Amino acid sequence: MRTPKRLAVLRCLDWSAVVAAKNSTTPCAVIHAQRVISRTPAAMRYGVQVGMRRRHAQALCPDIEIVAHQPSRDRTAFDAVVRVVNELVPLIEVSEPGLIVFAARGPSRYMGGDGPMASKIVEALKTSVADSRLAALLVGVGVADSRLAAQIASHASAMASSSANLFVPYVVEPDKTNEWLAPQSVRVLGEFASINRETISLLERLGLNTLHDVCALSESVLAGRFGELGVELHRLSRGDEQYPLAVVPHPPEHLCIEKFDEPVSDQQIIINSVQRMAVAFTEYYSVHGSVCVRIVISFESESGKRSERLWYRPQGLTTSAIIENAKWQLEAWLASQLAGDISGDPESHALENYALENHGLVRVQLIADEVRTDTAQQLRLWGGSTQTDETATQAISRLSELLGSSAVQVAKWQGGRDVLDSYELVSATHAQTIGSASSHEQISAQKWRGALPNPSPSVVYSEPIQVQINDQFGKLLSVSARHELSASPVSVIIGSTHYKVNSWAGPWPVEERWWDSARSRRLVRLQLVCEKITADSALQILAMLAILEHGEWTVAAIYS
C-alpha cells in the first residue's frame, strides 16, 4: 500500500487585517469592493464578519479602522513569518500571504509527531511577534493526507485556538482523510479549493450537500454533468489532489541557473535574468507536453545567504507567474535584510529604493519540484474559456515579458453602483497569477443593489460631460422626489450638437449615505439611444449613460 503524502498547512487567520492594523488591539477591517475581506480579532469581537458590507461593519463598531486592500503590503510583511518557519522547516511553499504549506513527514519525525511539530512552530512564531503589532495574530496548523483536508484543518485549528485562547493543532490521522472529509459541507470546495460559487450552488440544489454525497456518485456521472470539473470535484471530495499524477514519463529534470561574474546590486537586472530563465524553463516543458506545477526559486548573495522558496500553482506555472513569484520573493527577502527583525515595519522602506550593495546576488536558480502532463482543455460551445481568450492571454503574457510585469494592465471588476468606480486597472501579470477567483473576488461578484443592468458601458469618462436633456416643449428634463421623470426625453444637446432621442430606459435612482450630510449622494441615471444626421448625410447612432445630480445632467459613459 502506498504511504500517504502528509502535508501541513500553517494559516495566519485574517493576515491582511492584522498587518494593516496600527497595533494589536485596534479593531480593523480590510475592505475590497465595499465588503470586508479580513478583520482583526478585536473587530471580530464586535461581530464584524468577512463578507459584511462596510457600513454594516461600521455600525457594529463605530471606531473600526477601515483600510483598503493592498496585496503588496500583505506579501512583503509575510516574509517575516516565512523566515521564522524556515528556521524549523527546510523547504516551505508560500501559496498566498497568510498561508504556508510544507511536507510534514520529515519535520514531524524529527520533532516527535505531527502535534508536537505544529506546537513548536507556532510557539517559535508567537515568541517572535510577542512585542510587535502582530501579537494578536491567530495561527492554526492542520496536518492531513491532502492539500484540501490540511487547509480545512488549519482553519479549524485557528478558530479553535481563538476560542480557547491557546494553540490547538488539528491533525487528521494517516489514511483517515477520506473519512474525515466525508461530512464536510460542499462549501469548503469554494472556500479552500477555488471552486466557483455557481458550481457550489448547483451542487446544493441537486441535494449534494456534503463531500460524502459527491463521492457517492461515480466519477463518470459527475464528468458527464460537469466535464473536467466533475472529475476534479470527485478527486477533491475523496481526499485526492486536485490534479492526478502523470501517466507518462516526465522529461529529464531541467535546471535553470544564472551565475553572475560580479555581484549584481540592481534588482531590474536580476528580474530580467529571471525573465529569460522563465521563458526557457516553460518552453522546455511545453515542448515535452508537460507543465511545472511546483517550482523552487533560489537566490544566493555574495555573503553566502540564500533565499529558497517553493511556489505552487495547480493549473501550471506560466512565465508571467514565475516572474511575479520571483519578484515577490526577492523584494520580501531584501526587506527582511534591511528590517533585521520581525517587528520591523515592512512599509518603512520603499521597495524601489532597496539597496543591494551589501547583499549583491551571485546566483539565481529555478528547479522544477513537481511536473505533470499538460492536459488539453475541451472548449465549450458557448460560455467559459474560448480559443480567443487563450490567444489573448498568451499575447498579454508575451507583452508582460517584453515590457515588464506591471506595464500591461487589465480592467478588473471591483463592484459598486458608479460606473467610474466599478472597475480598476491591475497588473495583467498579477491577474493571471491569481488564476481562480479568491474569496474576496467571489464576494465582489455578488449583485449590487441599485447597479445598472448589463452590459457595462464601453467608454467611461474620467470627467463627465455636461449636457442638456429636453422634453418635447424644449424644457429641461427633471426628476421628482419620487424619482419620476417630468416628461419623456426628446432631445440631447452636447455643446453645439443636437441629438434626437430614439429610445430610453430608466430612471435608476441612487441614494447613498442619506444619514451623513457630508457624504450623502442622490442621483438618477438614464440610458439613452440617440441619433443625428452628419454633414455627409450619414446616420450617427450614440448610446449614452446620462446622470442627473445637483440639478445638472452629464454624460458619464457611452456604449459602443
pLDDT confidence of residue 369: 84
Kindly give the interhelix angle for 228-237 and 197-205, rounded to the nearest 10 degrees. Answer: 80
pLDDT confidence of residue 390: 61
Q: Which of 11-20, 77-86, 507-516, 525-534 is predicted with the least confidence, judged by mean pLDDT?
A: 507-516
pLDDT over 60 at 355, yes or no: no
CATH topology (fold) of 7-181: MutS, DNA mismatch repair protein, domain I (3.40.1170)
Hey, what amino acid is at 269?
Answer: I
pLDDT confidence of residue 12: 92
User: 450 or 505: which carries more pLDDT confidence?
Assistant: 505
Q: How far, in Å, CA of 121 to CA of 413, rounded?
A: 39
500: β partners: 491, 531
pLDDT, tens digit, 9 for 90 and up, residues 415-449: 666 776 676 677 665 555 444 444 444 444 455 66
Domain residue extents for the chain = 7-181, 255-373, 387-444, 459-559
Q: Cβ neighbours of residue 389 under 8 Å, at least 6 residues apart?
A: none
CB 367 within 8 A of CB 296: yes
Provide the phi-psi class of 424: left if phi over 0, else alpha when psi is between -120 and 50, else beta. Answer: beta
pTM exceeding 0.75? no
Q: How far, in Å, CA of 93 to CA of 60, rounded?
A: 37
Average pLDDT across the chain, whole number: 81
Q: Residue 263 is placed in which grid cell?
A: 555581484
CB 450 within 8 A of CB 510: yes
Burial readout 500-529 (b: 16 or more C-beta within 10 A, e: otherwise): ebeebebbbebeeeeeeeeeeebbbbbbbe
pLDDT over 90 at 352, yes or no: no
Mean pLDDT of 341-364: 54
Q: Which of 17-31, 272-286, 430-444 is predicted with the least confidence, judged by mean pLDDT?
A: 430-444
pLDDT band at 3 (very low <50, low <70, confident <90, very high): very low
Q: How far, in Å, CA of 168 to CA of 433, rounded?
A: 33
pLDDT confidence of residue 179: 93
Q: Which of 173-182, 214-223, 263-272, 443-452 is predicted with the least confidence, judged by mean pLDDT?
A: 443-452
CATH topology (fold) of 255-373: Dna Ligase; domain 1 (3.30.1490)
Task: List the alpha helices (DSSP H) in 97-146.
Answer: 105-111, 114-129
Q: How far, in Å, CA of 154 to CA of 166, rounded?
A: 14
pLDDT band at 11 (very low <50, low <70, confident <90, very high): very high
Q: Is 421 helix (H, G, I), strand (E, B) or coil?
A: coil
Neighbour count for residue 364 (Cβ, 10 Å): 22
For residue 539, what is the enclosing H or E element?
strand 539-549
Closest CA to 194 of 151, 138, 156: 151
For residue 221, what is the enclosing H or E element?
helix 219-226
pLDDT, tens digit, 9 for 90 and up, residues 96-154: 889 999 989 889 999 999 999 999 999 999 888 877 777 778 899 999 999 999 999 99
